[in-house]
Structures are given as C-alpha cells and as structure tokens.
Amino acid sequence: MNNKNQDTCYQQAATDYGPDLARFTAGYERDPALRRELLQEVHVALWQSFASYQAQCSLRTWVYRVAHNVGVTHIQRTMRRAERQSLAIEDIEAQACEYTDIALTERRLDLARVMALIHQLAPLDRQVMLLYLEELDAASIAEVTGLSARNVATKVHRIKAVLAAQLSGGMQHE
C-alpha cells in the first residue's frame, strides 16, 4: 500500500473508531497521563499497520485487533508495576464510598467497579470483556480475538455472571 493510501486508511479509521480506541486504552491503563501515551502508541501502531492492510478483514476488525494487541503488549511491559498498583475490589469499593461524598452518580460507581474488574483480568478475557461492552456480537468478538465462537459465548456468559455479582454486591454495599 502506498503512503497516501496508508494515510487515508488511518484517517478514516481514526475518524470512525477514535472514541472506541480511547475507551479501549482506558481498559488497559488507569493512569490518565500514561493512558494518553498509550493512546498515542495505539494510533502510531495503527497508522504503521496500514502499510500492510489489503482488506484482509473489515476495517473495524483490523483496528480493534491492532488496538488490543498494543494494549496486551502494554500490560506485559508494565505487569510488575501494574501488579503493585492494582487495586482489589474492596479498594475500589472504598473509593466508591469516598466518591459518594462528592455525589457521584450510581452509574459512575458501577462503571468504576467494572473498570476495576477489567484491570484485573488476563489479557484475552479483558479483550473479550471490552469488546462485549462495545456491543460486539459473539461472531465479531471471535473474529477480533481469534477465539472460537463457542469459547467467546462461554466467556461472555461468565462475564455477565461476574458483572451481575459485582454490581449487585456494590448495591448491597451502598
């Protein structure tokens, strides 16, 4: 692919999927400053990847794969630091209690719990969960992750159960 096409593909991808990329990076990095760096890295990787894009798969699948794989590399690179900084669910719940003092909505509290859960997940499970939250169906998640549709369906089922337990636990806490 020539440079002009590469740039055009990137610009189209950034326009169509820019908000999705921002959310994905939030699923891979908590710290806002590091998240901005990671988002930059995702955009660079995406732009570089379009040098070899020949419509092997849909643009969305390509963009999601690149973004998640950069995220996975980021997790591996920062694993030790992440482990030191990672919060237990109880910590998040404690934070949530502090947030209630400044009147954050229940919606945000639930999102904070979900985010805490996401940051504890292994890379592939995290990928499935983020794609599930993006409202992709099982077939599309399978295409991005390379997991079998059956495996995706099982994981999504478990994710739903964990989310239900997580959120109902949060409500009881409140």
Chain residues in the site for another protein (CB under 8 A): 7, 10-11, 14, 18-19, 21-23, 26, 36, 39-41, 43-45, 47-49, 52-53, 56-57, 62, 65-66, 68-70, 72-73, 76, 106-108, 110-111, 114, 122-124, 127, 133-135, 142-151, 160, 163, 167
What Å distances lie between residue 155 and 27, 118, 125, 148, CA to CA? 17, 13, 7, 11
What Å distances lie between residue 132 and 34, 36, 136, 157, CA to CA? 24, 23, 6, 11
Given a contact cutoff of 8 angstroms between Cβ atoms, the answer to whether 152 and 129 are in contact is: no
Give me 85's structure tokens: 């900084």
Give the nearer residue to another protein in terms of CB position, either 69 or 95.
69
* Nearest approach, Cβ of residue 55 and another protein (Å): 12
Dihedral pair phi/psi, residue 88, rounded to 5°: -75, 160
* Nearest approach, Cβ of residue 39 and another protein (Å): 5
* Nearest approach, Cβ of residue 79 and another protein (Å): 10
Render 36-74 in DSSP notation, one character per residue.
Answer: HHHHHHHHHHHHHHGGG-SSSS-HHHHHHHHHHHHHHHH
* Nearest approach, Cβ of residue 145 and another protein (Å): 4
Give me 159's structure tokens: 């994710």
* Nearest approach, Cβ of residue 25 and another protein (Å): 8
